Copies of this chain bind each other. A is one copy, B any other.
Amino acid sequence: MSEAATALSFAPGPVTMETEPVLHLSMQQALNRALDEILADHPKTVIFGEDCGRLGGVFRITDGLQAKHGEERVFDTPLAESAILGMSVGLAMAGFHPIPEVQFDGFAYPAINQIVCQIARMNYRSRGTLPMPITLRVPSFGGIRAPEHHGESLEALFAHVPGLKVVSPSTPHDAYHLLKYAATRPDPVIFMEPKSRYWQKGPVVVSTATPGQAMLDAGMDDGGSLTGARVAREGRHLTLVAWGAMVARCLQVAELAAEDGIDVEVVDLRWLKPIDAEALARSVGKTRRAVVVHEAPLTSGLGAEVAQLITQHCFQTLKAPVERVTGFDVPYPSGDLEDEYIPNIDRILFGIQRVLEYRRG
């Protein structure tokens, strides 16, 4: 996977995709548009979940899709997450490509049995005869001052489950292309949408063929444009690794650090399983220092995996142990305390400082 390819395809904007139209969309609009195109292009796709149909979902991601594609393709279910995922298994066995939604991250827990024991294993159990082309959309992470269980980060759990793939976009452009890509794969993908980013707009290069897809379809390497991490900002002194809503925050931090002459590279991991270890090695091989940032609690979070992968690949050149700036080992708190819990700019800057000031004794 070449650096050039990585740089090329996901830096959104007309420079890279001259012939494709560029729209200015929010992530909600980008996801909605992606689903609309998927439904149009793939007749076996069905979308369902709680309030996905008439209401268009509590976040309006499926807005208008039922009216346009009919009640058979886009429908409301009764209120039971285990059933939503369990029925996805049966639909997949019958040849459909289900795109179920759980309304909020915290309500994936009632469905964990079906996700872990069924969706993730059916292909294996059936020796490849019953693939599970299921894309589970999970509005994820915190930051919107919501009630309890509406701000959870389940990536470490999902990434640990054999048989699942896990992805989280950080921009409208990625949201559009990664969803189109995920929903047409033959394996189950957990699609974690950073709900605090639903409404921010950004450029989206829309295309009927998702970039990289053509290469993948031809059995070629896509250079990581769809399947790998993305360098969201180049830098020389230190790498910040993040995903979801933390990418935008890390980019802010990088701007602040630049004022102090610290040139921070920001890697948007995108795929949380499989993790693009090469991209991590490439970045930290250059910067020799890394901080990984996530909203989930520290202990046994995905940051440990990322840190260990970096250490494994860059042990010889690493100037300091990889730092983790994460949520604390506490239940996600109520709105008033949210800003204390989620890694804020200050805490990330402190983490950077610890790494930069680290001295071998």
Contacts and interface: CB of A to CB of B under 8 A. Distances in A.
Quickly give the copy total for this chain: 2
A285 B126 CA distance: 47
Interface in A312-361: 312, 315-316, 320-322, 324, 328-331, 358, 360-361
Interface stretch (A108-116, A134-142, A184-192, A243-251): A108-116
Nearest to A158: B300
Contacts of A275: 299
Q: Give the most central of A120, A148, A302, A321: most B CB within 10 Å.
A: A321
Given A162-B331, A329-B162, A299 B311 contact: no
Q: How large is the interface on A (under 10, 10 to 19, 20 to 34, 35 or more residues)?
A: 35 or more
Contacts of A320: 315
Contacts of A274: 299
Interface in A278-323: 296-297, 299-305, 307-308, 311-312, 315-316, 320-322
Contacts of A161: 297
A160 interface: yes
Q: Give the most central of A148, A304, A307, A330: most B CB within 10 Å.
A: A304
A299 B303 CA distance: 11
A273 interface: yes
Contacts of A360: 315-316
A322 B274 CA distance: 21
Contacts of A321: 311-312, 315
Contact of A305 (B117, B121, B149, B304): B304
Interface of A: 106, 109-110, 112-113, 116-117, 120-121, 124-125, 148-149, 156-157, 159-163, 273-275, 296-297, 299-305, 307-308, 311-312, 315-316, 320-322, 324, 328-331, 358, 360-361
